[in-house]
Structures are given as structure tokens and as C-alpha cells.
Amino acid sequence: MNRNSIHTAIFTAIWFALITFIIVGVQVNTIDGSMQWHPGRAVFIAIVSFLLSLLWQRVFTVQDIDLTEAKNARNTFWIGYFTHGKNIFRKIRTVGIEAKKKHKTVLLLIISIPLLFLPLLGLYQTKVITSVLVFMLLALSLNVVVGLGGMLNLGVASFFAVGAYTYALLNYHYHVGFLIGFIAAALVSLITGVLVALPVIRLKGDYLAIVTLAFGEIVRIVLENWSSFTFGPSGISNVVRPKFFGMTLNLQHVTGYIYYIAFIVVVLAMFFINRLEHSHYGRSWEAIREDGLASQAMGVDLAKTKMLIFAIGALLAGVAGVVLAISTGYINPKSFTFWQSIIPLCIIVLGGMGTMSGVLLGAIILVWLPEYLRVFSDYRFLVFGIILVVMMIFRPDGLIRKTRKEYQ
Amino acid sequence: MSTRLLELQELSMYFGGIHAVDSVNLHIEENEVIALIGPNGAGKTTVFNCTTGMYTPTTGKVMISSPNVRKQEDIADCRPDVIAKKGLARTFQNIRLFLEMTTLENVMVAYHIHLKSTIWDVLFGGSKVRKEESHMVKKAYEYMGMVGIAKYAHELSKNLPYGVQRKLEIARALATKPFLLLLDEPAAGMNPKETEELRNIIISLRKQVSIFLIEHDMSLVMTLADRVYVMDHGKMIAHGRPEEIKQNPEVIRAYLGGDYA
């Protein structure tokens, strides 16, 4: 451990404490309008980020190890982590794929550990992050359909609604519990996806966008008008919350519990999408996006593949719907407007089409930040517009550019 | 006796009143290199499109018999992907690569039809998928090696030089392990050096696969082809060995006009 890394760590600690202070250090009591200060939390964050920064530097600054050496001996490599120090990025390149994998794992761990303790920050923060996770799921869905499959889907809100309403209605009419309701909702939205795909796979580009857009509106209008079954615009309240192994939790705990459910669902979704993306399925999806006719000539079954893409997209959106239903406990057709189709699209455009980390970053910027910038909420759409225009000029590929996996 | 890998019987393709292909007969035998030539707009690519399922011919039959099966079947109504699985692979006149994917991935996509792992294997499985994948990568390198583009494996195919893109099209078609390879103007836009390389590639390929070639470069056609078919205005006007075709008055008329015949 040298002086430089301690300097960096201190700097990081102060920086993190400062920028997170408005979020965790100040609590506004909306009832009596008073403010509560929590300087202790800032100190806590400073200490944690100091330690994380040290760990980070340890992990990433390993002296240039010979490529073959690193590949041959994993052991040497792990020791290398703790005995060397210097240039991060050059090292990542030289040590190659093995190292990249390990770095990614460590990086993910560093990011996810604080997320595990998030409910300690209170009800409001937990709810906000849960809604961010819901939009992450929607964006992951679109990431598959638009980013990988290249089919512009403007009706993701419809599958979102199908998932949420299936869960809520099954529960209301048939008293189905959480787990079965969850699975049923996922299945129903998957089937809806396949049914929508049947006519849609024949269409391309703009026409496909229009049909999906129309489907989104149809679902919403049906929900609004089928009063006897869906309770129309008044929606469904008191959607059943999941029980914790048979125990009914209080509001505080159930919010945390739902957050964990959402967190796990997102992680699982990312895991499986990642697997698919780097398998022959994912490559066929991208081939279809690049050139449908050529991929068909190479033996890709267009109809079947597009159907699968749509089904997976619908499944993810449906699951997002269930998470929304349990986290808010109340749904109505207004939760599934065109806007709910557009935000996830903005997320992937901003983050970078077809990239997983882009989805996460985009969701944080477009869903999480606005929660804390409520002061500017009147200008939200203006800011969105400006962001997107600027993006299109300077980074048309999105914030995170897609790097291709190098198969060895 | 050698089998007829492909046999077009009275194949016709009409677009409204236009007879793009009119009662064409053609056959390809095992280990042959066949060239299809003709002036622009003669209907050569339409023949390809009918053969590989891009178009469904108006009338006529497209009979294939793979060397393994040795039984003729009509594929006129099949989809392109079904035909690819049956063992016919093609390249495109206007290069159609998967531009945002690497060279290696382009070839891998074509190899997918030989993979066995299902979606459950991919989602939950481990070694089986990994083994299959690494085997595929190895094969893909082989196919890239055959046309000499292995060093571009990790380049995005949109960034490749033109000649390499053309070769990649061939490598990608080869990765489907076809018994008949259909090349649509592989030398178009290539400089003499690249054309020469292409000639060597085709010569080395013909040991393993029969080739059906559309080409305008006559030196290439005359040196490579065992037999040559000539089309004009949708009709087959001549067919024979290259040296016969050179002398054929019909062919000269089609290319140069009536006065030269």
C-alpha cells in the first residue's frame, strides 16, 4: 500500500460523502416541513468508500504480468493481485480474458454489496430503488427485443400491464398467492408475447413499431373499459404482497423484502440474458438484426427466432409488471401508458443499445436521478429531450459502447 | 455414376408481365464447377434466388439430391433456412454480412445449424454448451483459414476491406457445410490480385464442394468452370464447355450485338 493509493482513497471518500450527502444526509419530513440532518451517515459512507477504494485499487492495480504466465497459472495471478501495483487498463488488456472475467466479478461484488444493505436507508429510498429496478427489467426486455433483435417495440407497456394485471386479478378473483401468481403472470405474458409475435414477425421497421404501439394502446383501453373484470380506471388496490415464509410482514419489512425480490429478479434476468446473448441464440438474434435475409440464407429460422425474442421480451416485461404490482400495491391503467413504453426505450438509447451495463446506467440516469431532482420536475421532459438530442449528436451509440466478446 | 446435385427443371419466375426466368433447365453433377454467365439483367441472380428459396418459382422444379442421401427432392417451395440446412449455401452479389458482428461471429452464425444444445442447455447447462461452443470456434477458424482471413477474426465485419468482406461471405457460406456452394459474382469489384487469390481459393475448395458460380470475369469463368451456362433475357441460350461457349454465335450476339456474330 503506497501513499498514492491512500491519497486517492481519501479523495474518493470525501467525494462520495459529499455527493451522496443530499440523498442520505438530509431527510425532509414532509408532514411538518422540517429537515433532519444525519452527518453520521455521511461519515459512514466516507469510511466505506475509503475502504472500497483501497480494495478497488488493490484489485485493479497489478503490475503487467506476462500474458502466458497469467493464463497458465491462476495461482500466480491471484497472488499478483496483492503483490503488485500500477496501471489498471493496460493490465486488463495484457492479462486478457481470464483477468477480465475476474475483474468483472470483483466489480460486480463491489457494486452489489452496498445494494444488499440498501433497505437500511429507509422506506423512501427503498421504494425509489425498487422502481428503478422495475424499469431496469423493462429496459432489459427492450434490450433483447430492440437492442439484440432489432425489432422496434413501442408497446412494452402492454406486456408490463399484462403481467401486473394477471397477478393482481388472479389474486383478487381467485385468491392466488404470490409465488403461483408470479409464475402464472410470467407465463401469461409469455403467451401474450407469442400471440402478438404471430402477426408482428412478418413486419419490419416502422410497421412493426406501429403495430406494437397499437397493441399497447389496445391493452390499456381494454383495461380501462372492461369494468366488470378489471375495475376500469379505478384499478385494483390492496394487491397481495408476498409473505415471508408464511409470515405477514409489516410495511417497513415488506418494502425491503420486495426490494430484495426485485433485486434478485433483475440479477437473474441479467444472468440469463447474458448467457443467451453469448450463445448461438443471441448471435442469431443479432444476425437477424443485421440482415434478416442473409441470416435466413445461413439457416436461421426467422419466424421461430423472432417469436422467441418477443416471448422473452414479453416475459421480462410481465415480470416487471408483477414487481410493480407488489411494490405499489395498487395498479390502474394509468400505470401502463405510452410513456411507460417510451422510458425504457430512452433508457437503452441513452445507455447504449444491446449493452447490459448501458441498461443499468440508463435506468439510473433516467429513473433514479429525477427522483432526487424533484425541484426541476417541471422541466423533466425538457431535460430528457435535451439529453437525448445531445446524445444523438455526440454519442449516437449510447453512453456505453458495445464491445464484442472475443471467442477463443 | 455421379449424381445430379442440383437439377432445375423448366424453372420460370415471372414478376407480373416480366419473365425474369423463362423455362430454364440446368443441372450440376458431383465435383463440378458450373458457371452461369450472361449480360446484366439476364436473370442469373433470379435463378439463384429461386434455387435458395428467396423466391418461390412461378413454375418448374428445383430438384436436389445430397451426396449422402442420393434421393431427389423438390425444394421449390422450401424456405431459405430449410434449404440451407439441406446443404445449399450461397453468397450475395451485394455483400450482405452481419456488419456489427466480428468476422468470427459471422462464420459462427452460419455454423449454428450444426449445434445441438437447446435453450435449456444454454440457460442452465455448463460443460456441454461450452464444449460445443469451443468446437465451433475451432471450426470457424478453419473456415476462415480456408479463404485466408483468420487474422481478421476479431474485427467488426463492417471495418474489413472489400476483398476480405467478399472472402468472408464465402467462409460464412462454407460454415454451413454445404454440398453445393452458390457464389453470386464473387469477383465483383475486386482488383486483379484479389481475383487471383479468389481463383486459388475456388480451386482449393472444389476438392470438397461443388460450386455453382455467377461471374462476369471471363478469365475466371473460362479457367475454373467445367461447364458454362449462358442466359439472356431470362432464357438459357447456350450451354457447354468453356471453349465451346467462346465460339458460340448466340453468346457473342447476346454480349456484343447481332453484327458481331
pLDDT score, position A13: 84
B80 and B198 in a common domain: yes
Residues 6+ apart with CB under 8 A from B30: B2, B3, B5, B67, B210
Q: How far is CA A52 from CA A9, A80, A112, A303, in A?
A: 8, 19, 12, 48
Confidence of residue A88 (pLDDT cuts 50, 70, 90): very low
Residues of A in contact with B133 (CB under 8 A): 279-280, 407
Q: Which of B177, B199, B225 represents a domain boundary (last residue)?
A: B177
Residues of B in contact with A275 (CB under 8 A): 122-123
What's the N-to-C CA distance of chain B in angstroms? 38
B61 and B185 in a common domain: yes
Q: Per-residue pLDDT averaged across A216-223, rounded?
A: 92
Q: Which of B102, B136, B176 sits opposite A299 (nearest CB)?
A: B176
**Alpha-carbon span B173 to A284, nearest angstrom:** 15
Residues of A with CB under 8 A from a CB of B: 272, 275-276, 279-281, 283-284, 286-287, 289-291, 293-302, 308, 402, 404, 406-408
Residues of A in contact with B115 (CB under 8 A): 280
Mean pLDDT (chain A) is 81
Q: Which long-range contacts (CB under 8 A, 24 or more apart) does A401-405 make?
A: A401/A352, A401/A355, A402/A352, A402/A353, A402/A354, A402/A355, A402/B100, A404/B101, A404/B102, A404/B105, A404/B154, A404/B156, A405/A278
Q: Which of A287, A298, A301 sits opposite B176 (nearest CB)?
A: A298
Q: Is the pLDDT of residue A271 over 70?
A: yes
Q: Which of B177, B194, B218 represents a domain boundary (last residue)?
A: B177
Nearest-neighbour CA in chain B from A359: distance (Å):
19
Q: Per-residue pLDDT averaged across A80-86, rounded?
A: 44
**Alpha-carbon span B181 to B174, nearest angstrom:** 7
Nearest-neighbour CA in chain A from B51: distance (Å):
11
Q: Per-residue pLDDT averaged across B20-34, rounded?
A: 91
Mean pLDDT (chain B) is 90
CATH number at residue B172: 3.40.50.300
Between chains, do B100 and A290 touch, taking CB under 8 Å as contact? yes
B83 and B9 in a common domain: yes
DSSP state of A36: E
Count of domains observed in chain B: 2
Span A347-368, pLDDT tens digits: 998 888 888 888 888 888 888 8
B81 and B190 in a common domain: yes
B136 and B250 in a common domain: no
Residue pairs between chains A and B whose CB atoms are closer than 8 Å: 105
B168 and B187 in a common domain: no
Confidence of residue B250 (pLDDT cuts 50, 70, 90): confident
pLDDT score, position A392: 82
B164 and B50 in a common domain: no
Q: Which of A276, A294, A308 sits opposite B92 (nearest CB)?
A: A294
Between chains, do B104 and A407 touch, taking CB under 8 Å as contact? yes
Higher pLDDT, A23 or B39: B39
**Alpha-carbon span B204 to B83, nearest angstrom:** 24
pTM of the model: 0.82
Q: Is the pLDDT of residue A371 over 70?
A: yes
Q: Which of B154, B177, B200 represents a domain boundary (last residue)?
A: B177
B61 and B8 in a common domain: yes
Higher pLDDT, B102 or B1: B102
Residues of A in contact with B175 (CB under 8 A): 298
Longest dimension (CA), chain B: 71
B83 and B6 in a common domain: yes
* Listed range (A109-118, A175-184, A373-382, B249-258) with the worst mean pLDDT: A109-118
Residues of B in contact with A404 (CB under 8 A): 101-102, 105, 154, 156
Q: Per-residue pLDDT averaged across A91-119, rounded?
A: 61
B51 and B169 in a common domain: no
B164 and B103 in a common domain: yes
Span B185-233, pLDDT tens digits: 999 888 999 999 999 999 999 888 999 999 988 889 999 999 999 999 9
B260 and B137 in a common domain: no
Q: Is the pLDDT of residue A76 over 70?
A: no
Residues of A in contact with B80 (CB under 8 A): 293, 296-297
Residues 6+ apart with CB under 8 A from A198: A307
Q: Which domain holds residue B121?
A: 96-177
Sort residue B181 into left (φ over 0), alpha (ψ -120 to 50) or beta.
beta
* Listed range (A307-316, B93-102, B124-133, B139-148) with the worst mean pLDDT: B124-133
Q: Is the pLDDT of residue A222 over 90?
A: yes
Q: Identify the residue whose cell numbers are 476480405.
A: B164
For residue A244, the tally of other CB atoms under 10 A from its CB is 12
